[in-house]
Amino acid sequence: MERITIRLPQQQVEMLQRLVDSGEFPTVSEAVRHAVRELVERRGDRAMRESDQVSFKV
């Protein structure tokens, strides 16, 4: 697994911590990984299609 660094507004960090405190996720890192997985699942196909279209235009 690769490590990345991100900056988030304090309010978002606090909300992530609340999700952990409520037992929704075991760690803040896992909550962020979950959010990224959902984003990739929803928009990943579109990004790949757009990438393929750009490569054909060249």
Distance, in Å, from the CA atom of 33 to the CA atom of 22, rounded to the nearest integer, reads: 17
Q: Where are the domains of the chain?
A: 10-57
Q: What is the pTM of this model?
A: 0.74
Tell the residue number behind the tokens 């490590």, with chain if given.
Answer: 3
- The whole-number pLDDT of residue 44 equals 77
- The whole-number pLDDT of residue 45 equals 76
- The whole-number pLDDT of residue 53 equals 60
User: What is the pLDDT tens value at each position of the chain, 58 positions in all?
Assistant: 899 999 999 999 999 999 999 999 999 999 999 999 999 988 877 766 776 665 555 5
